[in-house]
Structure 1
C-alpha cells in the first residue's frame, strides 16, 4: 500500500475555498428544493434538474476537487501542477458554470445552457488535465494511483457525456438523448462519485480508524467498476436486457460489499474513540448497503419513483453524507498540520479534536443523514420534500459556518505563529 507523507501537503487555502464553496452549493440546492417542493414529482422537472446539478457541480464537485489537491500529493506522492492564478479561475468558472446551468434549466434559456457548457468545459477539463498529468506522469503500480486513474477516466466520461447533452439541447445534435442522460447519471454517480469514495476510503478508513486494510481481493474487484458501467450501457443500447441486468446486479454487489467491508473496519477499529467521525463512517457503511438494495430494486421495478429515490439517496446520502464526514477530519487535520509547520517557537496548540466542536459535529451529521433519508422517502411521500430540503440546506449551512470559523481561527493563529521567534534548544551541557 502507498505510504502517506504529510510533507507533500500543499498550503490549504485553495482547498479550503473549494470546501466552503461546495457546502454553499449544496445548501443552495436544498433551498431551491424547499422553494419548489413539487420538483421531486418527476426527475424531469426543471427545478429538479437545477437542484441536482447545483448539488453535484456547485456542491460535491468543488469539495472533491479541493480534496484531491491534498490527497494526490499526500497519499500518492504525486505532485499536481500548481497554477496559482489559474487554479482560482478554474474554481470560479466551475461555480459560475454550475449556477448558469441551474438557471438554464429553471428558465429554459438556451443562452444560459451554452454559457454553462463553455464555463464547465473550461474549468473541468483544465482540472482533469492537471489530474491526468500527475497520475500518468509516473505510472506507479501501487493500487491507489491505479484506482485514481480509473476515477479520472470516469470523471472524463461524465464531463464529456454532460457536454454532449448540452449539445443536444442547444444545437439539436442527433444523439440518443435518453440514453445519454442515463449514462451521464451512471458515470457521474457510480463511476466518479462512488469510485472516488471507494478509492479514498482505502486509505482514510484504515488510517484514521486504525483498522485492518481492505483485503487484496477487494482492490481487484473494484477494477471491474468502469468495465461494468461500460458493458451495461452498451448492452442497454443494444437491447440486451439480460446482460444489462447482470451488470446492474454486479454493481449493486460491489456497493453492498463496500458497505459491509467498511462497516466491519469501523466496528473493529483499534482507535477507541466513538466520536462523530466513527458514527459518521458507520452511517456511510449502512447507507451504502441500503443503497445497493435500493438500486437493484429500482432496476427491476416499473415504478419510476424507485429510480428517483435511488438517485436522491446516492447523491445526497452517499455523496453529500460521506463528504460531510470527511470534511470533519480533513479540515482540522490540515489546520493542525500547517500550524505545526509554522510553530518554530514550539507554542502550545489546540489538539486536533478541539478545532471543530465534537457536539456540533454530531448534531450536524445527524441532520445531514436525516435530511437525506427524508428526501429519499419524499420520492413516495411528496409532502416530505419541503421539510427534507429545508433540513438539508440548514445542515450544510451549519457545517459551512463551523468550518469557516475553524479556518478563520487557523489564519489568525498562523499569523501569530509567524511573528514568534524560534525557540532554540539549549546546547548539550548548558543549563
Structure 2
C-alpha cells in the first residue's frame, strides 16, 4: 500500500467514523497550500472552516506562539497571567464592547452565550426561573454539544442524541414576521449566524439583520451574533454584521481567533451582560490560557491593520464575479456568499457535492461539500489572486468534464 493508503487504513481502523474526510493525508502546509505524505501539493480552498483565515504556518502567529511556549503555556484561571488582561482589553476594543469571557472551542463559546443569556434573563430582565426562551433559526449550525444539537434542524447532527434540552424556539432563517410572532415576555435572546456557513453560505435577505436588531431592542431581548465562521475578516469586514451596520449585544467568536495554531474562542459583550457572572459560576481550565492569549493578541493586531479585511473584500469580489459566470450555464445553479466565502450549488446531474470535491482533489484543489450538491469555497485570506484563479480554473475543468 502507498503511504496515503496505509495512513487512511490505520485511521479507519482505530478512530471513530464521525467524519468522512477526503482521501488525502496532509503532512505539511504553508500559506494556502498543503502537501501530502507523498509530496503532492494541494490548494486549500477550505481554510479549516475559517480557522485558517491567515493561512497555514503564518510566520507572525508561529513566532508569537513559539515565544510564549518558552515562557508559560498554562496557569488555569486560578491565577492571573501577564497576557490575559491585554487579550481581554484588545479583543473588547476590536469588538467595540467592554468585557470578554474566553473559552476554547466555538461550541464552548455558544454554550457560554446560552448560559449568559439565561442568567441575564433571570437576574436582569426578571424572567421567572426556568422559563427563559432563546430563539434560533432553522438550518443553523452552532456546534455539536447536546444542548446545541437540541435546537438543530439537521437530522444528521440531531438524531439519536435525545432527550433534548428544552428552552429553544426555532423560526425560519430570514423571516422577521416569524421572529416577531415567536417572541414572548420570556424570550431572553435571539441567536443568529449573520451568514449560515454549514447550511451552504446562506446570506439573509437585505434588511433582515437590521430588523432583528430593531426587534430585539424593542422587546428587551439580547441579539447574539454567532460570528465564529463569518467573523474576523472572512467577509471583507471584521464582522459580517458590519455590512448592514448592525451591532449586536454579544459576539460569539472562535476559529480564526486562534490563528489556526491553538483553539481560542470568546464571548464578547457589555459589562451589564457579562457582569452577571460571579466567581465559580462558569469556567474552563484552558480558557484564556497564556498560549491562547499570545496567539489571539497577534491575530487582533493583524486585524487592526485592516489589510486582511480589504484583501478579503477585493479578492471576494473577484471570486464571486468568476463564480457568477459559471451560474446559469447548466453546471452551476446558484452562487451565494460574501467576501472570500461562497456556497456553490452544483447541478445534481453533474454529481453530488462529495463527488465534485473528490474530482477537485484529483486536480489538487481541496474544498468540502455540504447538504447534497453544495460545495463551499473559503480560501485563506492570504491566498494570491494567481493561486485563486488557478483553483477556479480547476473547478471549471471539473465542471466541464
TM-score band, normalised by the shorter chain? under 0.3
Higher fraction of strand: 2
TM norm structure 2: 0.25
Higher fraction of helix: 1
